[in-house]
Protein backbone atom coordinates (compact mmCIF):
# COMPACT_ATOMS: atom_id res chain seq x y z
CA UNK A 1 0.00 0.00 0.00
CA UNK A 2 1.34 3.44 -0.95
CA UNK A 3 1.39 5.85 2.03
CA UNK A 4 -0.20 9.28 1.82
CA UNK A 5 2.99 11.29 1.30
CA UNK A 6 3.28 15.06 1.28
CA UNK A 7 3.54 14.99 -2.51
CA UNK A 8 0.40 12.89 -2.94
CA UNK A 9 -1.49 15.05 -0.44
CA UNK A 10 -0.52 18.23 -2.29
CA UNK A 11 -1.60 16.73 -5.60
CA UNK A 12 -4.98 15.79 -4.12
CA UNK A 13 -5.43 19.32 -2.77
CA UNK A 14 -4.55 20.84 -6.16
CA UNK A 15 -7.24 18.79 -7.87
CA UNK A 16 -9.87 20.56 -5.78
CA UNK A 17 -8.94 23.85 -7.43
CA UNK A 18 -8.90 23.73 -11.25
CA UNK A 19 -7.21 27.14 -11.38
CA UNK A 20 -4.20 25.91 -9.35
CA UNK A 21 -0.87 26.08 -11.19
CA UNK A 22 1.06 23.78 -8.86
CA UNK A 23 3.64 26.48 -8.05
CA UNK A 24 2.65 26.75 -4.39
CA UNK A 25 2.83 22.97 -4.00
CA UNK A 26 6.30 22.91 -5.53
CA UNK A 27 7.42 25.70 -3.21
CA UNK A 28 6.17 23.80 -0.16
CA UNK A 29 8.08 20.74 -1.36
CA UNK A 30 11.25 22.84 -1.69
CA UNK A 31 10.76 23.89 1.95
CA UNK A 32 10.25 20.23 2.88
CA UNK A 33 13.55 19.38 1.19
CA UNK A 34 15.34 22.04 3.23
CA UNK A 35 13.81 20.43 6.31
CA UNK A 36 15.23 17.02 5.39
CA UNK A 37 18.73 18.44 4.97
CA UNK A 38 18.58 20.33 8.27
CA UNK A 39 17.13 17.29 10.09
CA UNK A 40 20.09 15.24 8.88
CA UNK A 41 22.56 17.70 10.42
CA UNK A 42 20.56 18.11 13.63
CA UNK A 43 20.64 14.33 14.11
CA UNK A 44 24.45 14.41 13.87
CA UNK A 45 24.90 17.28 16.33
CA UNK A 46 27.59 16.33 18.82
CA UNK A 47 29.30 14.03 16.32
CA UNK A 48 30.41 16.50 13.67
CA UNK A 49 31.69 20.05 14.04
CA UNK A 50 28.18 21.54 14.02
CA UNK A 51 27.65 22.50 17.66
CA UNK A 52 28.41 25.80 19.32
CA UNK A 53 28.75 29.43 18.36
CA UNK A 54 29.74 30.65 14.91
CA UNK A 55 31.42 33.55 16.76
CA UNK A 56 29.37 36.30 15.16
CA UNK A 57 26.28 38.35 16.00
CA UNK A 58 23.21 38.47 13.75
CA UNK A 59 20.96 41.43 12.94
CA UNK A 60 18.91 40.65 16.06
CA UNK A 61 21.98 41.17 18.26
CA UNK A 62 22.03 37.46 19.09
CA UNK A 63 24.93 35.03 19.17
CA UNK A 64 24.81 33.00 15.95
CA UNK A 65 25.14 29.24 16.26
CA UNK A 66 26.85 27.10 13.61
CA UNK A 67 23.55 25.37 12.85
CA UNK A 68 21.92 28.79 12.31
CA UNK A 69 24.41 29.49 9.55
CA UNK A 70 24.01 26.05 8.00
CA UNK A 71 20.21 26.16 8.11
CA UNK A 72 20.08 29.63 6.59
CA UNK A 73 22.31 28.58 3.69
CA UNK A 74 20.20 25.45 3.13
CA UNK A 75 16.90 27.36 3.03
CA UNK A 76 18.25 29.90 0.55
CA UNK A 77 19.77 27.24 -1.72
CA UNK A 78 16.64 25.07 -1.63
CA UNK A 79 14.25 27.90 -2.51
CA UNK A 80 16.08 30.22 -4.89
CA UNK A 81 16.30 27.93 -7.93
CA UNK A 82 12.67 26.88 -8.43
CA UNK A 83 11.42 29.95 -10.28
CA UNK A 84 8.59 30.47 -7.76
CA UNK A 85 10.05 33.41 -5.78
CA UNK A 86 10.78 37.06 -6.39
CA UNK A 87 12.50 37.62 -3.01
CA UNK A 88 13.21 36.03 0.39
CA UNK A 89 13.60 37.43 3.90
CA UNK A 90 15.46 35.57 6.64
CA UNK A 91 15.70 36.30 10.33
CA UNK A 92 19.45 35.90 9.92
CA UNK A 93 19.84 38.51 7.14
CA UNK A 94 19.56 42.25 7.69
CA UNK A 95 18.23 42.93 4.18
CA UNK A 96 16.12 41.04 1.67
CA UNK A 97 17.65 38.13 -0.20
CA UNK A 98 17.45 38.61 -3.98
CA UNK A 99 16.95 35.76 -6.40
CA UNK A 100 20.10 35.38 -8.57
CA UNK A 101 19.73 36.49 -12.19
CA UNK A 102 20.60 32.95 -13.29
CA UNK A 103 17.20 31.77 -11.98
CA UNK A 104 13.71 32.77 -13.13
CA UNK A 105 11.56 34.91 -10.83
CA UNK A 106 8.12 33.94 -9.56
CA UNK A 107 5.02 35.44 -7.96
CA UNK A 108 5.69 34.37 -4.36
CA UNK A 109 7.83 35.75 -1.54
CA UNK A 110 8.96 33.80 1.53
CA UNK A 111 10.02 34.86 5.02
CA UNK A 112 11.63 32.29 7.31
CA UNK A 113 13.36 31.64 10.59
CA UNK A 114 15.79 28.90 9.50
CA UNK A 115 16.40 27.50 12.98
CA UNK A 116 14.24 28.57 15.91
CA UNK A 117 15.66 27.65 19.34
CA UNK A 118 19.15 26.80 18.02
CA UNK A 119 20.74 27.20 21.47
CA UNK A 120 18.78 24.11 22.53
CA UNK A 121 20.86 21.94 20.20
CA UNK A 122 23.67 21.60 22.75
CA UNK A 123 21.23 20.06 25.25
CA UNK A 124 19.27 17.84 22.80
CA UNK A 125 16.00 19.79 23.02
CA UNK A 126 13.67 20.22 20.03
CA UNK A 127 14.36 23.01 17.53
CA UNK A 128 12.62 23.93 14.31
CA UNK A 129 12.18 26.07 11.19
CA UNK A 130 9.30 28.50 10.57
CA UNK A 131 8.12 29.78 7.17
CA UNK A 132 5.61 32.24 5.73
CA UNK A 133 4.54 32.43 2.06
CA UNK A 134 2.86 35.43 0.42
CA UNK A 135 2.16 36.58 -3.11
CA UNK A 136 3.99 39.55 -4.56
CA UNK A 137 1.48 42.32 -5.15
CA UNK A 138 0.63 42.71 -8.80
CA UNK A 139 2.58 45.58 -10.36
CA UNK A 140 4.79 46.02 -7.28
CA UNK A 141 8.32 47.25 -7.93
CA UNK A 142 9.33 47.34 -4.25
CA UNK A 143 9.84 43.81 -2.87
CA UNK A 144 10.31 45.10 0.69
CA UNK A 145 6.86 46.68 0.73
CA UNK A 146 5.37 43.31 -0.25
CA UNK A 147 6.63 41.87 3.03
CA UNK A 148 5.42 44.76 5.17
CA UNK A 149 1.78 43.74 4.93
CA UNK A 150 -0.75 42.25 7.39
CA UNK A 151 -0.47 38.55 8.15
CA UNK A 152 -3.90 38.02 6.61
CA UNK A 153 -2.19 38.22 3.21
CA UNK A 154 -0.23 35.02 3.77
CA UNK A 155 -1.21 32.24 1.38
CA UNK A 156 0.55 29.52 3.39
CA UNK A 157 2.57 29.14 6.57
CA UNK A 158 3.99 26.46 8.79
CA UNK A 159 6.94 25.01 10.63
CA UNK A 160 9.21 21.97 10.77
CA UNK A 161 10.05 20.33 14.11
CA UNK A 162 13.39 18.56 14.60
CA UNK A 163 13.15 16.39 17.69
CA UNK A 164 12.50 12.71 18.42
CA UNK A 165 11.17 12.75 14.87
CA UNK A 166 10.94 15.35 12.13
CA UNK A 167 7.49 16.77 11.41
CA UNK A 168 6.36 19.34 8.86
CA UNK A 169 3.14 21.20 9.78
CA UNK A 170 1.54 23.63 7.35
CA UNK A 171 -1.66 25.38 6.34
CA UNK A 172 -2.86 27.05 3.16
CA UNK A 173 -5.97 28.36 4.89
CA UNK A 174 -7.82 25.05 4.64
CA UNK A 175 -6.95 23.51 8.00
CA UNK A 176 -3.64 22.41 9.50
CA UNK A 177 -1.93 19.16 8.52
CA UNK A 178 1.14 17.44 9.95
CA UNK A 179 3.54 15.13 8.12
CA UNK A 180 6.14 12.98 9.86
CA UNK A 181 9.38 12.20 8.04
CA UNK A 182 9.89 8.47 7.55
CA UNK A 183 13.68 8.14 7.28
CA UNK A 184 13.41 4.62 5.84
CA UNK A 185 11.89 5.97 2.61
CA UNK A 186 12.91 9.62 2.89
CA UNK A 187 9.33 10.86 2.62
CA UNK A 188 6.98 12.93 4.77
CA UNK A 189 3.90 10.86 5.61
CA UNK A 190 0.55 12.38 6.62
CA UNK A 191 0.35 11.58 10.33
CA UNK A 192 -1.75 14.42 11.79
CA UNK A 193 -4.58 15.46 9.47
CA UNK A 194 -6.79 18.38 10.46
CA UNK A 195 -4.86 19.36 13.60
CA UNK A 196 -6.91 21.37 16.12
CA UNK A 197 -6.43 22.55 19.69
CA UNK A 198 -8.05 20.27 22.29
CA UNK A 199 -10.77 21.93 24.36
CA UNK A 200 -8.70 21.70 27.55
CA UNK A 201 -5.69 23.95 28.09
CA UNK A 202 -3.10 21.57 29.54
CA UNK A 203 0.01 23.77 29.44
CA UNK A 204 1.07 27.39 29.47
CA UNK A 205 4.48 28.75 28.46
CA UNK A 206 5.82 32.00 29.89
CA UNK A 207 9.03 33.33 31.43
CA UNK A 208 8.01 33.96 35.05
CA UNK A 209 11.22 35.91 35.72
CA UNK A 210 9.63 38.84 33.82
CA UNK A 211 6.66 38.98 36.20
CA UNK A 212 7.49 42.36 37.77
CA UNK A 213 7.94 43.90 34.29
CA UNK A 214 4.40 43.07 33.10
CA UNK A 215 1.36 45.31 33.36
CA UNK A 216 -1.16 44.52 36.09
CA UNK A 217 -3.61 42.83 33.69
CA UNK A 218 -0.97 40.40 32.44
CA UNK A 219 0.07 39.59 36.01
CA UNK A 220 -3.57 38.91 36.86
CA UNK A 221 -3.83 36.57 33.86
CA UNK A 222 -0.66 34.63 34.74
CA UNK A 223 -1.80 34.38 38.38
CA UNK A 224 -5.04 32.86 37.11
CA UNK A 225 -3.16 30.42 34.87
CA UNK A 226 -0.94 29.34 37.77
CA UNK A 227 -3.55 29.13 40.52
CA UNK A 228 -6.93 28.44 38.92
CA UNK A 229 -6.71 27.23 35.31
CA UNK A 230 -5.41 23.74 36.08
CA UNK A 231 -2.72 24.13 33.40
CA UNK A 232 0.94 23.27 34.09
CA UNK A 233 3.80 25.65 33.36
CA UNK A 234 6.16 24.21 30.74
CA UNK A 235 8.59 26.16 28.54
CA UNK A 236 11.07 24.66 26.08
CA UNK A 237 12.57 28.08 25.25
CA UNK A 238 11.86 27.53 21.56
CA UNK A 239 8.65 29.22 20.42
CA UNK A 240 7.86 26.72 17.70
CA UNK A 241 8.42 23.69 19.96
CA UNK A 242 6.20 25.14 22.69
CA UNK A 243 3.49 25.96 20.16
CA UNK A 244 3.62 22.49 18.58
CA UNK A 245 3.08 20.86 21.98
CA UNK A 246 0.26 23.27 22.74
CA UNK A 247 -1.61 22.49 19.51
CA UNK A 248 -1.37 18.76 20.19
CA UNK A 249 -2.07 18.86 23.94
CA UNK A 250 -3.82 22.21 24.47
CA UNK A 251 -2.06 25.27 25.78
CA UNK A 252 -1.13 28.92 25.50
CA UNK A 253 2.19 30.66 24.86
CA UNK A 254 2.82 34.25 25.86
CA UNK A 255 5.63 36.75 25.54
CA UNK A 256 3.87 39.99 26.48
CA UNK A 257 5.23 43.53 26.60
CA UNK A 258 7.62 44.25 29.45
CA UNK A 259 9.11 47.47 30.77
CA UNK A 260 12.46 46.27 29.42
CA UNK A 261 11.06 45.13 26.03
CA UNK A 262 7.81 47.03 25.36
CA UNK A 263 7.67 45.62 21.82
CA UNK A 264 8.27 42.07 23.00
CA UNK A 265 11.01 39.76 21.79
CA UNK A 266 9.61 37.79 18.86
CA UNK A 267 9.72 38.83 15.20
CA UNK A 268 6.49 39.53 13.32
CA UNK A 269 7.47 38.30 9.85
CA UNK A 270 9.54 35.27 10.74
CA UNK A 271 7.71 33.89 13.77
CA UNK A 272 4.46 35.58 14.72
CA UNK A 273 2.65 35.94 11.39
CA UNK A 274 3.23 32.34 10.25
CA UNK A 275 2.51 30.77 13.64
CA UNK A 276 -0.57 32.95 14.15
CA UNK A 277 -1.95 31.66 10.84
CA UNK A 278 -1.37 28.07 11.97
CA UNK A 279 -2.95 28.81 15.36
CA UNK A 280 -6.11 30.31 13.86
CA UNK A 281 -6.47 27.51 11.33
CA UNK A 282 -6.18 25.03 14.22
CA UNK A 283 -9.07 26.74 16.02
CA UNK A 284 -6.96 28.87 18.34
CA UNK A 285 -6.41 32.59 18.75
CA UNK A 286 -3.35 34.87 18.53
CA UNK A 287 -3.23 38.49 19.71
CA UNK A 288 -0.62 41.20 20.08
CA UNK A 289 -1.89 43.30 22.95
CA UNK A 290 -5.56 43.63 22.09
CA UNK A 291 -4.99 43.38 18.31
CA UNK A 292 -5.43 40.23 16.26
CA UNK A 293 -1.88 39.20 15.34
CA UNK A 294 -2.71 38.63 11.67
CA UNK A 295 -4.00 42.20 11.38
CA UNK A 296 -0.61 43.64 12.37
CA UNK A 297 1.36 45.19 9.48
CA UNK A 298 5.06 45.61 10.38
CA UNK A 299 6.96 48.74 9.37
CA UNK A 300 10.35 47.05 9.08
CA UNK A 301 11.67 43.59 8.23
CA UNK A 302 12.81 42.72 11.75
CA UNK A 303 10.04 44.35 13.74
CA UNK A 304 9.08 42.71 17.03
CA UNK A 305 5.74 42.46 18.78
CA UNK A 306 4.27 41.01 21.99
CA UNK A 307 2.20 37.84 21.60
CA UNK A 308 -0.32 35.64 23.37
CA UNK A 309 -1.56 32.62 21.37
CA UNK A 310 -3.14 29.27 21.98
CA UNK A 311 -6.53 27.90 23.03
CA UNK A 312 -9.14 30.47 22.04
CA UNK A 313 -10.99 30.55 25.36
CA UNK A 314 -7.72 31.08 27.26
CA UNK A 315 -6.63 33.96 25.01
CA UNK A 316 -10.09 35.48 25.46
CA UNK A 317 -9.49 35.25 29.23
CA UNK A 318 -6.25 37.17 28.73
CA UNK A 319 -8.08 39.89 26.82
CA UNK A 320 -10.62 40.21 29.62
CA UNK A 321 -7.81 40.55 32.16
CA UNK A 322 -6.04 43.37 30.35
CA UNK A 323 -9.15 45.28 29.26
Average pLDDT, the chain: 91
- Three-state DSSP at 11 gives helix
- Three-state DSSP at 128 gives strand
Are 258 and 213 spatial neighbours (Cβ–Cβ below 8 Å)? yes
Mean pLDDT in residue range 240-252: 95
Q: What is the pLDDT of residue 63?
A: 55
| Cα–Cα distance for residue pair 124/46, rounded to 1 Å | 9
- Helices 66-80 and 23-43, interaxial angle, to 10°? 150
User: 0.85 exceeded by the pTM?
Assistant: yes
| Cα–Cα distance for residue pair 85/62, rounded to 1 Å | 28
CATH number, span 203-322: 3.40.190.80
Mean pLDDT in residue range 275-288: 98
Identify the CA nearest to 82 among candidates 33, 38, 14, 129. 33
- Three-state DSSP at 294 gives helix
Q: What is the pLDDT of residues 184-209, one digit of tens each?
A: 999 999 999 999 999 999 999 999 99
| Cα–Cα distance for residue pair 143/109, rounded to 1 Å | 8
Residue 47 has pLDDT above 60, yes or no: no
Residue 21 has pLDDT above 50, yes or no: yes
Which residues is 254 bridged to in the sheet? Answer: 308
CATH number, span 6-192: 3.30.540.10
Q: Work out the percent of the chain whose per-residue pLDDT is above 70.
A: 91
Q: Give, for 178, the enclosing helix (H) or strand (E).
A: strand 176-182
Are 194 and 211 spatial neighbours (Cβ–Cβ below 8 Å)? no
Are 111 and 131 spatial neighbours (Cβ–Cβ below 8 Å)? yes
Identify the CA nearest to 38 among candidates 132, 133, 168. 168
All CATH 3.30.540.10 domain ranges of the chain, comma separated, are 6-192
Are 295 and 268 spatial neighbours (Cβ–Cβ below 8 Å)? no
Lowest mean pLDDT among 3-7, 114-118, 279-283, 287-291: 114-118
Q: What is the pLDDT of residue 305?
A: 98
The band of 54, judged by pLDDT with boundaries at 50, 70 and 90, is: very low
Paired sense of beta strands 85-90 and 97-98, if any: antiparallel
Q: What is the pLDDT of residue 61?
A: 52
All CATH 3.40.190.80 domain ranges of the chain, comma separated, are 203-322
| Cα–Cα distance for residue pair 157/111, rounded to 1 Å | 10
Amino acid sequence: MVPNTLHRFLVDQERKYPEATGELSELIQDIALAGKLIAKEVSKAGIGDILGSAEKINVQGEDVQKLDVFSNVVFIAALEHGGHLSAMASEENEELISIPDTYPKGKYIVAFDPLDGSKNIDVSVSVGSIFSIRKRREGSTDPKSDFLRPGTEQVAAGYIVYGSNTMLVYTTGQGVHGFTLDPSIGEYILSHPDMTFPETCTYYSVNHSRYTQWDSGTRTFVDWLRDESGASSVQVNALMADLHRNILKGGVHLYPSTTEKPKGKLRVLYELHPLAMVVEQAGGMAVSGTTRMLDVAPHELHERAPIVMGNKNIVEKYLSCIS
